[in-house]
Amino acid sequence: MTTTAITNIASLVTNDPSLCADSPLGPIQDAAVVIEGDRVVWTGESSKAPATDNAVDAGGRAMIPGFVDSHSHLVFAGDRTEEFNARMSGRAYSAGGIRTTVAATRAATDEQLAANVARYLAEALRQGTTTFETKSGYGLTVEDEARALRIAARHTEEVTYLGAHIVSPDYADDPAGYVDLVTGPMLDACAPYARWIDVFCEKGAFDGDQARAILTAGMAKGLHPRVHANQLGHGPGVQLAVELGAASADHCTHLTDADVDALAQGSTVATLLPGAEFSTRATWPDARRILDAGATVALSTDCNPGSSFTSSMPFCIALAVRDMGMTPDEALWSATAGGAAALRRTDVGRIAPGARADLVLLDAPSHVHLAYRPGVPLVHAVWRRGERVS
């Protein structure tokens, strides 16, 4: 198989903590990376790079692992420009807006939905995202949820069944009946396409008992749990996620001390989604408090047409650094290795021998520029599975 060396990297973020006692980013200065097929086979100082078939000069730029966006909702149609406009004039965000997207998504053809997913994925890839998770949740019928997951599964192995996004408008007078559908025929139709099951555990969506019933039904079918938790207010979501051993509790905006302790004691990653707080003008999640307690933090986009219509991980990094108390190093780790942890993956989110060759070259000498130069398109080149894609 052909080997390629990328040399003259000013600073390489490996996320290999064994390389540097001071930083989990395991940085190497004046570095090179050798890839073979879809894998990294060597990292180290440029001067010590082994002979290879091909060489690429990185031009003194910084290289980071491809971003791992562990939370998005890409299977939808339409947008919610009017709702955003109203919000920016003072109206509050509510989960009720989801119904607008459900109507548009149901009315769309398979081809329209697939084209939308492809479009937002291409957008994310150009901004350095090489692994992403995505969910159903804008269909809310057996057929519409299953088709969303079928379309998502063509693009990623990280597919999440979110039939429990809100109670379907068709069951407005019978929420218990909707939970029966989500845990019964809808689960049967969706489980073959999904790895994960998720529930929006929040006032106005599903309460703690309903969320537990939904997640445990999915687990009995072999799906792994993750939870939309504590986004709009305090609630049982985070502690339920930890209790069930969920890979991730997502949002974590409103946390009690007991919630933070639970995250610190358990194996559930706290996935923070600053695009949602930005776009809903809500209180920022306190990343500093969660990190200082010893919990693992991931950063993701939550890309969806309602609460966070961004596919940009660099934008989320900039927000997390500016407004959530994270250092640039912590934010980059959370957007790469943290996202991998939230998906229980070890093959992505790092640049080390054996890892997938998902690499991002920045038009900057250091990853710190992602937060220092917000809004500037700093992604110079992207390799996914060893192939240069952008």
Could you say whether residue 120 binds ligand NIG (CB under 6 A)?
A: no
Q: Tokens 């990185």 identify what position?
A: 58
Question: What does the buried/exposed string (b/e) look like for 61-81 if buried means 16 or more CB atoms within 10 Å of the residue's CB?
Answer: bbbbbbbbbbbbbbbbbbebe
302 binds Fe ion (CB under 5 A): yes
CB of 318 vs ligand NIG, minimal distance in Å: 19
Identified binder of ligand NIG from the candidate list 228, 254, 350, 356, rule CB under 6 A? 228
Output 31 or 232, the one with its CB closest to ligand NIG. 232
How far is Cα 300 from Cα 112, in angstroms, rounded to an integer?
25
Where does residue 372 rank: exposed (0-12), middle (13-18), buried (19+ CB within 10 A)?
A: middle
Query: How many residues does the structure list for the chain?
Result: 390
73 is annotated as contributing to ligand binding: yes
Q: What is the closest distance, in whole angstroms, from the C-beta atom of residue 31 to Fe ion in the complex?
A: 36
Residue from 67, 193, 196, 200 in contact with ligand NIG (CB under 6 A)? 200
**Subset of residues 73 to 102 that bind ligand NIG, contact rule: CB under 6 A:** 73, 97-98, 101
228 has binding-site annotation: yes
Size of the site for ligand NIG (CB under 6 A): 14
The pair of three-digit structure tokens given for residue 190, joined into one six-digit string: 């969706």
* Interface segment toward Fe ion; rule CB under 5 A; list 8-16, 234-242, 279-287, 294-302: 294-302
The reply to whether 231 sits in an annotated binding site is yes
296 Cβ neighbours under 8 A, 6+ residues apart = 269, 270, 338, 341
Question: Smallest gap, in angstroms, from Cβ of residue 132 to ligand NIG?
Answer: 14
Give start and end residues of each alpha helix (H) in the chain: 81-88, 98-107, 110-126, 142-153, 175-183, 185-190, 208-220, 237-243, 257-265, 274-280, 287-293, 313-323, 328-333, 339-342, 369-372
Q: Which position among 131, 156, 231, 336 is part of the footprint of ligand NIG (CB under 6 A)?
A: 231
Q: How deeply is 90 buried, as exposed, middle or buried, from its count of CB atoms within 10 A (0-12, 13-18, 19+)?
A: exposed
Contacting residue, 46, 116, 248, 304, with ligand NIG by CB under 6 A = 304
The residue (of 276 and 297) whose beta carbon lies closer to ligand NIG is 276
Residue with Cβ nearer Fe ion (183 or 280): 280
Q: CB-based contacts of 308: which residues, under 8 Å, 6+ apart?
A: 273, 275, 276, 278, 279, 280, 301, 302
- For residues 263 and 295, the answer to whether their CB atoms sit within 8 Å is yes
Euclidean distance between CA atoms 248 and 71, whole angstroms: 10
214 binds ligand NIG (CB under 6 A): no
Contact map string, positions 244 to 283, toward Fe ion, x by CB under 5 A: ----------------------------------------
Nearest-CB residue to ligand NIG?
306
- Which listed residue (13, 260, 276, 378) binds ligand NIG by CB under 6 A? 276
For ligand NIG, the closer of residues 133 and 358 by Cβ is: 133
Q: Which is nearer to Fe ion, 276 or 379 (CB)?
A: 276
Please spell the DSSP secondary structure of 249-317, one letter per residue.
EEE--S--HHHHHHHHHSS-EEEE-HHHHHHHTPPPP-HHHHHHHT--EEE---BBTTTB----HHHHH
Residues in contact with Fe ion by the rule CB under 5 A: 302
Positions at the binding site: 71, 73, 80, 138, 165, 228, 231, 302, 304, 306-307
Positions at the binding site for 4-imidazolone-5-propanoate: 80, 138, 165, 231, 307
Residues in contact with ligand NIG by the rule CB under 6 A: 73, 97-98, 101, 200, 228, 231, 276, 302, 304-308
